[in-house]
Chains A and B, each alone.
Chain A
Amino acid sequence: MALRMPLRRVAPLIRPATAAARSFHSTPRALVKVGDEIPSIEVLHETSPGNRVNLAEEFASSDGYIVGVPAAFSGTCSSSHIPSYINSPKLKSAGKVFVVSVNDAFVMKAWADQLDPAKQTGIRFLADPSAAFTQALDLGFDGTAIFGGVRGKRYALKVVNGKVAAAHVEPDGTGYKGELACPFFAIVRREHRSLPRAWLRGLTRLQSAAATIPPTTRKRKAAEATILSPTRETTSNKKPLASAAKVEAAPPTPVTTGMDSDDDFMSHGSSDDELLLDDSGDDMSGPDDFDDEDFDEPDPEFGLGSKELEAPRRQAHIVPFKVFDPADIQKQQDDIVDEVNMILNMSKEDAAILLRHFRWNKERLLEDYMDRPERVLEAAGLASTTTEPPQLEVIPGFMCDICCEDGDDLQTFAMKCGHRYCVDCYRHYLKQKIKDEGEAARIQCPSDGCGRILDSRSLDLLVTEDLVDRYRELLNRTYVEDKDSFKWCPAPDCPNAVQCSVKKSSLDRVVPTVECRCSFRFCFGCPNPDHQPAPCEQVKRWLKKCADDSETANWISANTKECPKCQSTIEKNGGCNHMTCRKCKYEFCWMCMGPWSEHGTSWYNCNRFEEKSGSEARDAQTKSRTSLERYLHYYNRYANHEQSAKLDKDIAQKTEKKMVQLQSASGMSWIEVQYLNSASQSLQTCRQTLKWTYAFAYYLARNNLTEIFEQNQKDLEMAVENLSEMFEKPVADLSDAKLKVDIMDKTSYCNKRRIILLEDTATNLAEGEFFP
């Protein structure tokens, strides 16, 4: 309840009696009338049958609304009405809001969890299992044909001082034909679509809208957090609280808006035409309302759209990202599984299999499932699922086809496909898959050609103790590995993942650098560590160039390539040009690196290769024309800083020792000696940046920007060298307070120079000034 309180802002919605009469006039068949008291009966259930609610009592202390819907999860209300209501800025001024439906408490709760998982809206979902409340208002209708019993009409009642102050009842009780007449429509209007797709989209949008901070805010928050303290940026498990806080912090809706709303509520008739017309000219569908754009991407979207780049507080060289620890990742998975489990009404095991099958693309799963459920189930290996738990069986006279054993006490197992094998063989098979092949999510029935995928319940039964951990880990990994916006932190032994939604197409304009909580800095766009300011493609070219003179390098470029999709290195063995990436299973052509599927008709000779070879040959020529001296100029500096960076690492290790010594020698506290640690950290980070400025400069065409860049480079170089010198001081000197201040100054100057350089470079890069 505590979270709901802030929402109940008092907004006296006074309406003229004439308006009420008009409104009532439009719903002549409704028996509840303006002025009626809310029936004082304790028949409504909230959350569970034990928790009874009396609406007369609820409205004794506060005004508000009662909204009736024919059924929980009913398409129209789920897609548009309740979502639009939940997202309406006017909700805050609505008082208590109850949604009532003739359903049992559990269904109602499930629906509520679906629509408002964070419980941020304050809307309360009440079940009217016996239809007693609905019938007391005489708002029931015989829904036997559709629902198998009495159901409530779609209605909305405004309650003031415990009495009905306005009533809006859908004339057509079944509601499904006249969905535009939904009373919610009169409160907050929004596009109405009745297709299942739209319904699902509505649900998923709503999920992301309700479960998190509104996206615009979220984006900004993420950006701020990153700027202020990249190391601290973590994901919060307390999303509901965060969003509740956000709602609370929002400025109160002006009363005039509330008046408008009420006016709308009162004056709109229920004819479809009228509402339809009205919808187009609605003053409430402005930007403050429910901005569609924000909900088009259900995943937290940190894309680098123009919006992002324009954000005033956003620094050009910083991309928003989030760090997730294993528990976060687990929770995200669980949530999305729960959601699919709820929407599609299937077991969690099956929902998880489907999600993995769709590589955690929930939207695609839902859409495909809606279109062709059977095909989706079949493809995911779930055809003809029943809910019986899997079990081991002893079948007399059975012989296992894999090992040919046939003992009378042979334990056997089969999934629903009926392909039965002995448990030993099954386990042996799973061990092979899990341990040797690293598979988990898509292990198929051992039978040849049977695509059925082993569900997690069967696996729980079969996977031996020693493999369980590995199996779970592999399953978990699919969540991160299947998503383009996730990456594992490459630091050794770091279990975290980082999310960053930089688009591949923007990698020439942005260098998406992220920092894990373990403090490892790496590039999200390619497999390299932090290489700002140089863009990924440049880095790749540069590294290749630098390595070109070694024999090994030549072999690597001839015999290995990177998977065009996941960038893992693939070694070619054998003559076959049909490559399948071991990691992401992407199939491509070795010759042209294009998708294999496009080679269907031109079956061997790859025409695309000819074009490519031509352009590569031209590239090679260009390269040869490049002056070797110019290259060496930059290379030597780059290599020099790389060498120094290695020494800096030693310094970092020595610094830790120094810090200990300093504490005992000078009596400084652990906190007081932290400045040395910061200095050593920035030295490493700045050195890394400096190193890459030389690769960047090598590819830079000479113009007036180059000069600014080189000046920035020089400044950073000076700053780095000055800071570097400080580490040559003996420990004894470090206890000098003046030196400490000096080091701290040099550290912050170094950081500042780095930011200036990166910011400048990133801005120009983003605007295409460097490499138009």
Chain B
Amino acid sequence: MALPKRIIKETERLMAEPVPGISAIPHEDNLRYFDVEIHGPASSPYEGGIFKLELFLPEDYPMTAPKIRFLTKIFHPNVDKLGRICLDVLKNNWSPALQIRTILLSIQALLGAPNPDDPLADDVAKHWKADEQAAIEKAREWTRTYAQPQPQPAS
């Protein structure tokens, strides 16, 4: 099945005008599958980290939201162990007018502002509540441990 015009346009634009701190590159053999990198926002515990995510555009995209999850381990109350993200625009509030670009920006924003009212990772959230300072420190530590830029394999 031919790739819909919408996906082609979005991809072109993502390549031509990349969002600062975010990259999304489609697989050559599957143009619905994207490798995503998001830079941790400044003055957040994720600052300095580069987080890898995978993004897939389902058959009926944009009528349904893209599927997206963190591949890099991250200590965040809205991201669970499997990297799944609790974000309203990926669920009930998805609109076909939203784009890959806007979704990735929302995720970046979520890193800058964890939403403790809607926790996805129980233990992380518990920790966050019990001792916010320690939790932030742990998030920093995880960022240093798991999200440090690694030399890109030549490709």
Residues of A within 8 A of B (CB): 401-405, 419, 421, 425, 428-429, 432, 446-449, 574-578, 580, 599-600, 603-605
Is A574 touching B80 in the complex (CB atoms < 8 A)?
yes
Taking CB atoms, residues of chain A closer than 8 Å to B128 are 604
- Residue from the list B10, B62, B119 in contact with A577, Cβ < 8 A: B119
Q: What is the bound-complex CA distance between A577 and B116, given in angstroms?
A: 12
Q: Which residues of B contact A429 (CB under 8 A)?
A: 63, 96
Residues of A within 8 Å of B84, CB to CB, are 574
Contact A576-B118, Cβ < 8 Å, known A404-B9, A604-B128, A605-B126: yes
**B77 part of interface (Cβ distance < 8 Å):** yes
Which residue of the partner chain, among B5, B95, B126, B129, contacts A403 with CB atoms under 8 Å? B5
Q: Is the CB of A401 within 8 A of B97?
A: yes
Instruction: For the complex formed, measure the closest distance between the CB of A610 and the CB atoms of chain B, giving whole angstroms.
Output: 13
Other than the known A403-B5, A428-B63, A575-B119, what 12 A-B pairs have Cβ atoms closer than 8 Å?
A401-B97, A402-B96, A403-B6, A429-B96, A432-B60, A432-B63, A447-B95, A448-B97, A448-B102, A574-B84, A575-B80, A604-B125
The DSSP consensus for interface residues of chain A is loop
Q: Is A576's CB under 8 angstroms from B4's CB? A: no
Residues of A within 8 A of B92 (CB): 580
Main secondary structure of the interface of B (DSSP, over half): loop
Q: Is B117 an interface residue (CB 8 A)?
A: yes
Chain A residues positioned under 8 Å from B74 (CB to CB) = none
Q: Beyond A403-B6, A432-B64, A446-B97, is A578–B126 a contact (Cβ under 8 Å)?
A: no
Contact string, B98-123, partner A, CB cutoff 8 A, digits 1/0?
A: 10001000000000000011111110
A-B contact pairs, 14 of them (CB 8 A): A403-B4, A404-B4, A404-B5, A404-B6, A404-B9, A446-B95, A448-B95, A574-B84, A575-B122, A577-B119, A578-B119, A580-B92, A603-B119, A604-B119
CB distance from B135 to the nearest CB of A (A): 11
In whole angstroms, what is the CA distance A404 to B96 when docked? Answer: 12
CB-CB < 8 A to A599: which residues of B? Answer: 117
In the complex, the chain A residue whose C-beta lies closest to that of B98 is A448
Contact present for A603 and B64 (CB under 8 Å): no
B36 adjacent to chain A (CB < 8 Å): no
| Residue B86 CB within 8 A of the other chain | yes
Question: Taking the nearest CB of chain A, how far is it from the CB of B149, in angstroms?
Answer: 29
Within the assembled complex, what's the spacing in Å between the Cα atoms of A581 and B119?
17
Measured between alpha carbons, how far is A428 from B64 in the docked complex, in Å?
A: 11
Q: Type the 1/0 row for B77-97, where 1 means its CB is closer than 8 Å to any CB of A.
A: 100100010100100110111
User: B98 CB to closest chain A CB, in angstroms?
Assistant: 5
Assuming A405-B5, A575-B120, is B129 touching A603 (CB within 8 A)?
yes
By a CB distance below 8 angstroms, the chain A residues around B4 are 403-404
Q: CB-nearest residue of chain A relative to B6?
A: A404
Q: Which residue of A428, A432, A447, A604 is within 8 Å of B97 (Cβ)?
A: A447
Bound-state Cα–Cα, A401 to B98, Å? 9
Residue of A nearest to B127 (CB): A604
- Chain B residues near A401: list those with CB within 8 A: 97
In the bound complex, residues from chain B placing their C-beta under 8 Å from that of A604 are 77, 116, 119, 122, 125-126, 128-129
Measured in the bound complex, the distance between the Cα atoms of B130 and A705 in whole Å is: 53
